[in-house]
A and B are shown apart, each in its own frame.
Chain A
Amino acid sequence: GAVVSQHPSWVICKSGTSVKIECRSLDFQATTMFWYRQFPKQSLMLMATSNEGSKATYEQGVEKDKFLINHASLTLSTLTVTSAHPEDSSFYICSAPGTGDSGANVLTFGAGSRLTVL
């Protein structure tokens, strides 16, 4: 079945530095990928939609300059947290519409990346 790989799974960085998280669709192509953010014991909040070959679409309240998204190819989307601060510490999860068993564009999720900013 469809597999989405995220890297790194864990990252710790110093405040003020930038961190890049990669999201890859391993056995299928994805023209669209979705980036979610999850705070501890809370639900997933959609941050942005990554579009291959065009600009990402950000949800209301998400800082475009803080969370840079690049959909470099049909199998790779990256999220860069720029000038990270402790409040950016969170669990970031990407997903892509995969070719699920039913063919109903079921979202396949990566395993997530936990960012801790010191």
Chain B
Amino acid sequence: AQSVTQLGSHVSVSEGALVLLRCNYSSSVPPYLFWYVQYPNQGLQLLLKYTSAATLVKGINGFEAEFKKSETSFHLTKPSAHMSDAAEYFCAVRSSFGNEKLTFGTGTRLTIIP
């Protein structure tokens, strides 16, 4: 079975500072990994995904994530935080084969300090 662990339910960074949201996964098969963002009272929007191609994945809004198999990690980063980045971020994993069910982490709420 697959699972993801997001370290830190709340992260606060100053505007313009580096954003680092942590995600570690557990999977018995090569995983597909995703980061989604959720704004208040909205559904989820895909930020980026890893599907066994390049280990450094670039997404929308300046976010990127690096797949590190040795560390079983898929941390999300952005060099310079913007006020509009304030939201809930979810890491998710699914089996690379089989159905498309996603297992989500518990989420990290990102707050941007002006």
Residues of A participating in the B interface, judged by any CB pair closer than 8 Å: 4, 6, 32, 34, 41-44, 46, 49, 91, 93, 95, 97, 100, 102, 104-112, 114
Contacts and interface: CB of A to CB of B under 8 A. Distances in A.
A114 B41 contact: yes
B43 interface: yes
B9 to A, nearest CB: 8
B45 interface: yes
A47 B36 CA distance: 19
A104 B51 contact: yes
B108 to A, nearest CB: 10
B53 to A, nearest CB: 9
Contacts of B36: 109
B107 interface: yes
Nearest to B39: A111
Contacts of B99: 32, 49
Interface in B43-63: 43-46, 49, 51
Interface residues of B, number: 22
Given A109-B44, A112-B42, A44 B104 contact: yes
Contacts of B45: 109
Given A43-B90, A43-B107, A112 B102 contact: no
A4 B109 CA distance: 24
Contact of A43 (B43, B46, B101, B104): B104
Interface of B: 32, 34, 36, 41-46, 49, 51, 90, 99-107, 109
Contacts of A41: 109
Contacts of A109: 36, 43-45
B37 to A, nearest CB: 11
Contacts of B101: 34, 46, 49
Given A4-B43, A44-B44, A109-B36, 8 more contacts: A32-B100, A34-B100, A44-B104, A95-B43, A95-B102, A107-B46, A109-B45, A112-B42
A46 B109 CA distance: 20
Contacts of B90: 43-44
Nearest to B50: A104
Q: Which 9 pairs show the lowest CB-CB distances between chains A and B?
A: A109-B43, A109-B44, A111-B43, A43-B106, A97-B100, A104-B51, A43-B104, A112-B43, A44-B104
